[in-house]
Structure 1
Amino acid sequence: MSTLVKDHTFLTDKMKKLILDVDTGVDDAQAIMIALAAPNVEILAITCSHGNTPLDNVCKNTLRVLKVCNRLDIPVYRGCSGPLLGRTCHAGDFHGKDGLGDVPDPDAPGLELLQKKRAAEAIIKIVNQNPGEVSLVATAPLTNLAVAVQLNPSFPKKLKALYIMGGNTESRGNTTVCGEFNFVADPEAAYIVLDRYTCPTHIATWEFSCRSSLPWSFCDTWLAQDTDKARFMEKISLHTRKMVQTERYKKELVGGPGFNSCDTYALAAAIDDTLVTESEEVAVTVELEGTHARGMMVVDYMDLLKKKHKVFIMKKIDKEKFKQMMMKALK
């Protein structure tokens, strides 16, 4: 059965070691910038996956964000270019064809800056070198994570925690009738990860992110900061902002219109244990068949799956604290 958990938190002064697995579109960029601005965070690696845009774009976009933040010292790894099975899908209409609003930078870093090792191998090596210390934040389709656990089945036990942006709890889709993009883009990978990663797992679902949206007035204030980071964010997010303010998209929103930076919720929860004020502990899996439900996250409220491992589904956050983190990211 599910259990509501309030203030499922613990405090520590220790530096938090993170690996970010991204498909860098605009909201991934926002998440990366929040992590870079957090004084208690050490980013050990950023691994890139297919998703919002083709893999080469994801890699270029990630390096571009790091350049804006003067952090090209962080190692970036190339991951999987497509799902384990099925067809590759992208979100070019939402984030722009290149993933960052189609406003290219002629001086953007080149792909020669990528590490030679592949993403799944890098994740395994870093976690094994830092047992019990690394939290993995996945804001992309879960292909890299699925490949990693197939290569090394025991390494997830050495993770401190896993934070995922993906899935849904009410069969409300944003890509298919019942499916959220990250899970629909690789349902088999999502199934494998939710089945075989038995470390503490926290999920920021599509409906949760919608209900945690911020007012557009905050977005205006956020982007009006007189910094290079804010100007960069304003430029790359213009396409997405126009998109989400169309009448068609407004109909898809669960909690009403607002500024929904989907990926940042999972990242923010990973770096601040007090951000999530209420969560629900329940077993989940992913539907792999069905005309309309392939890729949908299944929430086992009746305990019929008999799964020992349960995840924490985020329900509520401290919005004021979240706003402060967003503001700091662009300072």
Structure 2
Amino acid sequence: MKCPQCVYTNPEGVKFCISCGEKFIKDNTPGDDNSFFYEFAHYVDMVPNKERSVNPKFNNIFSRVFHDHSELEAERLFIVGTALTTPKLSEVTDTWPKPWLFARVFIIALLTFAGFYIGVSYFHNANFIPGLILTGSFAVPFTTLIFFWEMNAPQNIAFYRVMYIVLLGGILSMLVALLFFDILRNTSNAITTGIVEELAKTITVISFVRFRKYRFILNGLLIGAAVGVGFAAFETAGYALRALLSGGGEHLYYTILWRGILAPGGHVAWSALAGAAFCRVQGSENFRPSMLLRFQFLRVFALVVLMHAFWDFDAPWMFPYGQLGLMAVSWVAVFLLIRAGLKEIGRMKLQI
């Protein structure tokens, strides 16, 4: 079953193209009266305006979430990124991906959290508390990571490496931040916190991409998000434990709830933005420290630091309305960089 949108050859039985998400309306057999019409329609849609393919249509981006999907589609997502499964650049589509797996992951995480909640609240079993904290801390950040994973159109990063970056990158970025805080001693405030934590995460992201083959903007977005997920989840687990020890179960659930709601617009999005900005300036070049002084990187990093500083600003109106507003700003920037990443792929394909 060849997709009419991206010409990817799909196995029999799938309802959507497992490469670009195009829905298979019907098979165009030679005897079908409408076959010429469908071929012409796809030709007209693809050829005249190449720029149109990277303009986001939000009703289409999430159009596959509520559709049925086979296990084969999910399995195909998790095997990309190896030497045998990474598509050639000419095979990469520069149209907006249609993610759906992240919604399934979120449902599974909620069900798992509900199980731990029942074990703690109704059966009063303390053995469920560590699982409750870990599941509650990772549920939303990890779901957001799966969204970035699905949006990585080049499909050149294996999932095991993403998890490696989540765990190792998360703890490394936290330790680097603690080192900076120790140097600054008693000068910590909202601005210095924003600078220190974002600088620590950005240094960690750069350490993962500077010597690798991950030269695409969308690669930086995914790797940055992976570091941010580790940082955010480990930090939430710490705050949740402190809330439990100081205020009991009510404070624990309150902490997990609000940090979960705000997680997509915090560390995950900020690190993703910084990673994408760095890959944008590095491209296929070897890393040089002077790249960090380029305007394309500095403007994004400055935006991230300012959003983090405002996020931590101690004002009665900041929580939750100010932080929800900052979350919206973060995701506007994320979608703009996704659009830039898809355009980058389109330009590179024209140069082949």
TM over 0.5: no
Point out which structure has higher relative CO (alpha carbons under 8 A, 6+ apart).
1
Which has more helix, going by share of residues?
Answer: 2
Structure showing greater radius of gyration is: 2
Larger strand percent: 1
Normalising by structure 1, report the TM-score.
0.26
What TM-score, normalized to structure 2? 0.25
